[in-house]
Amino acid sequence: MSSADDRKQERPREGIYSSSRLERTITGVAIAIASIGLGYLFFTQLWWKVPPDFGCRNDFTKGGLCFFIEEESSIADDPNKLLKADIVGSNPGPEIYVPIGWATQLNGIFIDNVVQPNIRWFGYVIWGTEAWIFLSLCLGFFSRLGALVAIGQSTELMLGLSNAPNEWEWSYILMVLLAIAMFGVAPGRYFGLDRLLRPRFRALSERGSRVGRLLLLFT
Q: For residue 185, what are the domain limits?
A: 18-191
State residue 19's pLDDT score.
67
Question: Residue 6: inside a domain, yes or no?
Answer: no
- Per cent of the chain over pLDDT 90 is 82
Is 98 inside any structural domain? yes
d(CA 189, CA 147): 13
- Residue 66 belongs to a domain: yes
* Domain annotation covers residue 11: no
Helix %, strand %, coil % for the chain, to 5? 65, 5, 30
Give percent of the chain above pLDDT 70: 91
Q: Average pLDDT over the chain, rounded to whole?
A: 91
Identify the H or E element spanning 113.
none
Return d(Cα 188, Cα 141) in angstroms, integer.
6
Render pLDDT for 113-161 as a digit per residue (tens, 0 to 9). 999 999 999 999 999 999 999 999 999 999 999 999 999 999 999 999 9
pLDDT at residue 1 in the model: 47
Q: 217 lies in a domain?
A: no
Considering its fold, how many domains does the chain have in total?
A: 1
Q: Say how many Å lie between the first and final Cα of the chain, rounded.
A: 40
Q: pLDDT (tens digit, 9 = 90+) per residue, 94-112? A: 889 999 999 999 999 999 9
Q: What is the mean predicted confidence (pLDDT) over 157-174?
A: 95
User: Which sign, positive or negative, has the C-alpha torsion 114, 214, 14, 5?
Assistant: negative
Range in 36-40, 61-65, 133-137 with the lowest mean pLDDT? 61-65
> 12 falls in which pLDDT band (50, 70, 90)?
low
The distance from CA 134 to its chain's CA centroid, rounded to whole angstroms, is: 10
* DSSP states of 124-191: HHHHHHHHHHHHHHHHTSSHHHHHHHHHHHHHHHHHHHTTSTT--HHHHHHHHHHHHHHHHH-GGGTS
- Assigned domain for 205 exists: no
Position 171 in a domain: yes
Q: Which amino acid is at 151?
A: I
80 assigned to some structural domain: yes
User: What CA–CA distance (Å, rounded) separates 18 from 108?
Assistant: 46
Taking only the tens place, the pLDDT of each residue in 197-208 is 999 999 999 999
The pLDDT of residue 13: 54
